[in-house]
Chains A and B, each alone.
Chain A
Amino acid sequence: MADQEVKLTLVEKLGRVDRRIVFLLMGIAVLIPLLVHYTTTIPASPIVQNVFDKVESLPAGSKILVSFDYAPSTAPENQPMATSITRHCFEKGHRIYMISLWATGPRQAMELIDDIITPEFPGKVNGIDWIHLGFKAGGQGLINTLLSDFTAMYTTDVNGRAVGDFPMMNGIKSLRDFDLIYCIGSGQPGNKEWIQFAGDPGRIPVGGGTTAVMAPQLYPYYPKQTVGLLGGLQGAAEYEAALIAAYPKYKSMSRVASEKMGPQVSAHLVIAAFIILGNVTYLIERRRQKKQK
């Protein structure tokens, strides 16, 4: 049996690396950035920069509707988007109105309030600078109703207080009273519904973020029907980069997306390296076989 074993050349060996070696290198590529807290700064792409520029260009006191349309399962991708938009809005002095089309959304909004708003912006007051209105069922039907009558659906905040008690609700009659609708989505209802049933018919600027898997389905809406889009963790990291470029103080604060991009970037490089290796060895072998013929 040993006599019949074909002795592989180095090139052939490199073209047939044991999958366990691949797994090991992937594991190292993901582990090391996590252990050393490697943070990468990815310059914002145009599609993300546009969202940033839109928020930046709005005058202080603008009304931003943020819709939390995701579940805890996609929070690793979506929650950093919520954090970045909140920091950006409060830096600009905008007012944030939090709602949700998903039953799991309010929990994520509460997480934002507890982890970011309360500790980082203690001067921002509930009812004056931000308000959490909670979840309402109905999906696109709800959006349709909100387009003509917002307070018919949202009569109280998430704690049961009448919206009339909050100064920032004065003058809010419909979705058209908002300066930007920012949807953080991961499925349906989500970004597409906000664009189709609010942005388009109501001529209201719509932006936001979604998971990496859903993002390609929304690119066709850019730039005419959506001001921009944060696609997955990378989009969130790019927005953080844009935020740091404009407000350097955030460089020293926790940047969850950028920190999580470390392992993703190194993993991508490992996969790219293996693809290059596989193709180089394949082309060399093919050339050799042609020469032999």
Chain B
Amino acid sequence: MTGRANLLAILIIALAIPAMALAEAAVVDETGQSIAPVELPLPPSDLRVYDSPSDHGGSVSLSWRRSPDDGAGRGLVTGYQILRSDIPEGGFVEVGRTLKGIETFTDKQEVTNGKRYYYRIAAVSAGGLSAEVAAGPVIASQQWFNKKRANLLVVACILVVAIVYYIYLGAKGRDLYIRRIAGLEAVGEAVGRATEMGRPVLFIPGIQDMDNVQTVAGITILGEIAKMTAQYETRLEVPVSRSIVMSTGRETVRQAYLEAGRPDLYSDDMVHYITDEQFGYVAAVDGIMVRERPAACFYLGAFFAESLILAETGSSIGAIQVAGTAMPTQIPFFVAACDYTLIGEELFAASAYLSKDKKMLGSIKGQDAGKAIAAAFIVVGVALVTLATLTGNDVIGEAGAWIKNLFALRM
């Protein structure tokens, strides 16, 4: 009897516990009738919290393994709730939610560097929240190196080494071959033509300020052209659209005239300011072109929509035009309307090319080496991806993806 009673007791207890659990979860409506018990999902697991890497701080990263009821099992999970507190015992507030299927979260909500934080995560369902999983403490901090840009550093180092190596070779006196650039060969011809015709040379260094490297390139070329105009005693006019460009341009032209031994021909009015406004500047320059009728026009710098207006006006007055810009959208307009166009990098090579300085020519050679390296990677990468697509080979596909990721920019 005792044995049976014990067995019965055990049976009752075994049945009672889930019944009680169900009873806790069971919902009773206002009339007292019980409705279907609400199921709660199982919690996620393996919650990891860590300081977000390679950043300025103010960020904590979380990762976890999904709840077994997320996309599988009972399929109850609709998302996850992330809670945070300064102390492990309580005071947790919600700092974010994710949708189901997500296993990571980055907390950037007023995270203070150096402070300890504790996190909890729970799976969310229509019926409510799962049990919480806790982790911590974690301290956000600043890092000294952004690992996401490591590939950029490697590429930059390779380029710098290539350029510096060729500059070194140039400094040693080695003859470095640079192909003939028609637009730059024509500079002397253009200035000579202006001298013969007794008409001025017009130089436009773009419409951007000195913080744009194209403007710097334009101003250095202006120095070389100013030397020629000084030698040939040709009038030079440089209307500019930025005040700092005016100051820099004046210094450059004054020095060029000094080096050419003709400081008496220099005047501050050669480089004068018009306006910062794009179309106001273009209108003024067009007026100068139509009135002064320069025989040679140089457009070397950063340009936008005004490029064609300048080039067509120059064409209408019969001037020889040499243009150069690194704005890809404006290059076609210059190619169509000007006699010679320096495309992209040729603008940056121009000052070195014109000066014939061996160290500067070395830097062009180094830049070409960089281009050769880039071309090699492009060819290899394209070949791998094409082969992978044609053959369906996973190994080749992964090799192609690896090369693509090598140059992926993760900021």
Contacts and interface: CB of A to CB of B under 8 A. Distances in A.
Whether chain A touches chain B in the assembled complex (some CB pair under 8 Å): yes
Interface of A: 19, 145, 148-149, 152, 173-174, 176, 213
A148 B98 CA distance: 6
Interface in B90-116: 96-99, 105-106, 108-109
A149 B81 CA distance: 12
Given A148-B96, A174-B99, 7 more contacts: A148-B98, A148-B105, A149-B97, A152-B109, A173-B79, A173-B99, A176-B99
A152 B79 CA distance: 16
17 contacts: A19-B316, A145-B108, A148-B96, A148-B98, A148-B105, A148-B106, A149-B96, A149-B97, A152-B96, A152-B109, A173-B79, A173-B97, A173-B99, A174-B98, A174-B99, A176-B99, A213-B329
Nearest to A177: B99
Contacts of B109: 152
Contacts of A213: 329
Nearest to B102: A148
Interface of B: 79, 96-99, 105-106, 108-109, 316, 329
A145 B96 CA distance: 11
Contacts, number: 17
A19 B337 CA distance: 13
The secondary-structure label for the interface of chain A is helix
A145 B106 CA distance: 10
A78 B232 CA distance: 52
A174 B97 CA distance: 9
A170 to B, nearest CB: 14
A232 to B, nearest CB: 14
A149 B109 CA distance: 11
Contacts of A174: 98-99
B12 to A, nearest CB: 45
Contacts of B99: 173-174, 176
Nearest to B99: A176
A105 to B, nearest CB: 22
A173 B79 CA distance: 10
Nearest to A174: B99
Contacts of B106: 148
Nearest to B411: A140
Contacts of B316: 19
B94 to A, nearest CB: 10
Contacts of B329: 213
Nearest to A213: B329
Residue of B99, B106, B329 with most chain A CB atoms under a 10 A cut-off: B99
Contacts of A148: 96, 98, 105-106
A88 B398 CA distance: 43
A17 B329 CA distance: 28
Nearest to A176: B99
A248 to B, nearest CB: 38
Contacts of B98: 148, 174
Nearest to B79: A173
Contacts of A145: 108
Contacts of A152: 96, 109
A139 to B, nearest CB: 12
Contacts of A173: 79, 97, 99
A87 B99 CA distance: 31
Nearest to B78: A173
A174 B105 CA distance: 13
A148 B109 CA distance: 13
A-B CB proximity, top 6 nearest = A149-B96, A176-B99, A148-B98, A173-B97, A213-B329, A174-B99
A78 to B, nearest CB: 17
Nearest to B106: A148
A174 B101 CA distance: 14
A152 B108 CA distance: 11
Nearest to A173: B97
Contacts of B97: 149, 173
B247 to A, nearest CB: 30
A148 B329 CA distance: 36
A171 to B, nearest CB: 11
A19 B109 CA distance: 63
A47 B125 CA distance: 40
A174 B99 CA distance: 8
Nearest to A149: B96
Contacts of B108: 145
Nearest to B105: A148
B315 to A, nearest CB: 9
A57 B24 CA distance: 45
B252 to A, nearest CB: 33
A32 B184 CA distance: 45
B107 to A, nearest CB: 10
A152 B96 CA distance: 8
A114 to B, nearest CB: 29
Nearest to B108: A145
B197 to A, nearest CB: 20
A149 B99 CA distance: 10
Nearest to B305: A213
Nearest to A214: B329
B279 to A, nearest CB: 12
Contacts of A19: 316
A80 to B, nearest CB: 21
Contacts of B79: 173
Nearest to A145: B108
A176 B79 CA distance: 12
B389 to A, nearest CB: 14
A173 B108 CA distance: 17
A176 B316 CA distance: 56
Nearest to B316: A19
A149 to B, nearest CB: 6
A19 B313 CA distance: 11
A29 B295 CA distance: 33
Nearest to A19: B316
A213 B99 CA distance: 38
A30 B106 CA distance: 55
A176 B78 CA distance: 13
Nearest to B96: A149
A213 B328 CA distance: 11
A189 to B, nearest CB: 14
Nearest to A216: B329
Nearest to A20: B316
A149 B329 CA distance: 37
Contacts of A176: 99
Contacts of A149: 96-97
